[in-house]
């Protein structure tokens, strides 16, 4: 196990990326185990572990990029991670709304709908709650 992988797994755990590990041990890991490893090593081991940008800001980067590009699966993982790191729901809603400016309304509408369950629960609705 490389240092890069170990560092990556460590970051993924700080992000409570249980779901990523789950994803990476299933379909992708079955067909391309080396790529599942690289998908930990490069993003998390090489980049997220660097000084110069804290994890919360890195999750803003991930969410803004993934919503703009329309990658729903990965967007959900990073929205969950951002909430885990302490971001509020309304911050995430603001990020997703703002992507309408750069990637268009459909991308932003899709992103908000795809993360609906992560951004609501029984006790609070919409942007009025944390």
| Residue 116 Cα distances to 39, 56, 82, 112, 122, angstroms | 26, 21, 15, 6, 12
* Residue 13 vs 121, nearer CB to a second copy: 121
- Least Å from the CB of residue 14 to a second copy: 16
Q: What CA–CA distance (Å, rounded) separates 80 from 85? A: 9
Question: Minimum CB separation from a second copy for residue 16, in Å?
Answer: 19
| Residue among 56, 100, 105, 91 at smallest CA distance from 118 | 91
| Residues touching a second copy, count (CB under 8 A) | 66
Q: Does 124 bind a second copy (CB under 8 A)?
A: no
Contact flag: residue 74 with a second copy (CB under 8 A):
yes
| Nearest-angstrom CA–CA distance, 5 and 44 | 8
Write the binding mask 17 to 56 for a second copy: x where contact by CB under 8 A, - elsewhere: ------x---xxxxxxxxx--xx--xx--xxx-x-xx---
């Amino acid at each position: 196990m490389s240092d890069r992988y170990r560092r990556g797994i460590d970051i993924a755990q700080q992000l409570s990326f249980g779901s990523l590990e789950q994803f990476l041990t299933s379909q992708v890991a079955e067909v391309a185990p080396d790529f599942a490893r690289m998908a930990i090593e490069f993003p998390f081991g090489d980049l997220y572990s660097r000084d110069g940008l804290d994890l919360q800001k890195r999750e803003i980067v991930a969410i803004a990029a993934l919503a703009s590009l329309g990658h729903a699966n990965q967007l959900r993982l990073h929205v969950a991670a951002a909430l885990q790191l302490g971001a509020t729901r309304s911050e995430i809603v603001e990020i997703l709304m703002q992507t309408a400016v750069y990637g268009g309304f459909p991308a932003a509408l899709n992103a908000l709908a795809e993360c609906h369950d992560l951004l609501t629960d029984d006790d609070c609705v919409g942007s009025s709650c944390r």
